[in-house]
Amino acid sequence: MNESEYYAGQSKTDAKLAAQISLMFRAFWSSKARNKILANLLAIVVVILITVLGQLRLNAWNRPFYDAIAQKNLENFLIQLGVFCIIAAILLVLNVSQAWLTQAIKLQFRKGIVVDLLDEWLPRAHRLPEAGSIGANPDQRIHEDARHLAELCADLGIGLFQSTLLLGTFIGVLWKLSENFGLVWHHHRLPIPGYMVWCALLYAFAGSFLSWKVGKSLIPLNADRYAREAEFRFSLVYLNEHIERFNGDAIDQKPRLLDDLRNVLRVWWRIVNANARLTFVTAGYGWFTIIAPLLAAAPGYFGGNLTFGELMMVAGAFSQVQTSLRWFIDNFGVIADWRATLLRIADFRAALIGYPPFSSGFRAPAAAPSTFPRPVLDADGKEERLMRN
Which amino acid, one-letter code, is at 115? V
Identify the three-state secondary structure at position 368.
coil
Contact yes or no for 145/345 (Cβ under 8 A): yes
- Other Cβ atoms closer than 10 A to 349: 21
E-state strands within the chain: 182-185, 188-191, 373-377, 384-388
Contact yes or no for 106/154 (Cβ under 8 A): yes
Reported as type and span, the H/E element at residue 63 is: helix 34-70
Contact yes or no for 200/367 (Cβ under 8 A): no
What's the Cα-to-Cα distance from 236 to each of 16, 229, 248, rounded to whole Å? 32, 11, 16
Identify the three-state secondary structure at position 363.
coil
Contact yes or no for 321/167 (Cβ under 8 A): yes
pLDDT one digit per residue (tens) for the chain, 389 residues: 455 544 444 444 455 778 888 888 888 888 888 899 999 999 999 999 999 999 999 988 988 998 898 888 999 999 999 999 999 999 999 999 999 999 999 999 999 999 988 888 888 777 666 656 556 678 778 888 889 999 999 999 999 999 899 888 888 888 887 776 666 666 666 677 778 888 888 888 888 788 888 887 887 888 788 888 888 888 888 887 777 776 667 777 788 888 888 999 999 999 999 889 888 888 888 788 878 888 887 777 776 667 788 788 888 888 888 878 778 767 877 888 888 888 888 888 887 877 666 554 444 444 444 444 544 434 343 334 333 33
Contact yes or no for 15/228 (Cβ under 8 A): no
Q: Dihedral of CA 208/269/389/139: which sign?
A: negative
E-state strands within 251-380: 373-377
Closest CA to 212 of 343, 337, 333, 321: 333
pLDDT for residue 134: 58
Closest CA to 128 of 351, 344, 362, 361: 351
Which amino acid, one-letter code, is at 7? Y
* CA 159/CA 179 separation, integer angstroms: 30
Paired sense of beta strands 373-377 and 182-185, if any: unpaired
What's the Cα-to-Cα distance from 8 to each of 21, 218, 267, rounded to whole Å? 20, 12, 11
CATH architecture of the domain with range 30-358: Up-down Bundle (1.20)
Identify the three-state secondary structure at position 357.
coil
Closest CA to 229 of 147, 150, 139: 139
